[in-house]
Amino acid sequence: MEDSVTYQAIIAKGRAEGERQGAVREARKTLLLQGEDRFGPPDAETAAAVEALDDLARLEQLSVALLHAQSWPELLQTPSPRAPRSRRKGKRS
Q: What is the mean pLDDT of each run of 10 residues along the chain (93 residues)?
A: 80 81 95 97 97 95 96 94 59 50
CA atoms within 13 A on the CB side of 20: 11
Q: What is the pLDDT of residue 23?
A: 92
Q: What is the pLDDT of residue 92?
A: 52
Q: What is the pLDDT of residue 8?
A: 80
Q: What is the pLDDT of residue 93?
A: 46
Q: What is the pLDDT of residue 5?
A: 85
Q: What is the pLDDT of residue 86?
A: 54
Alpha-carbon gap, residue 12 to 20, rounded angstroms:
12
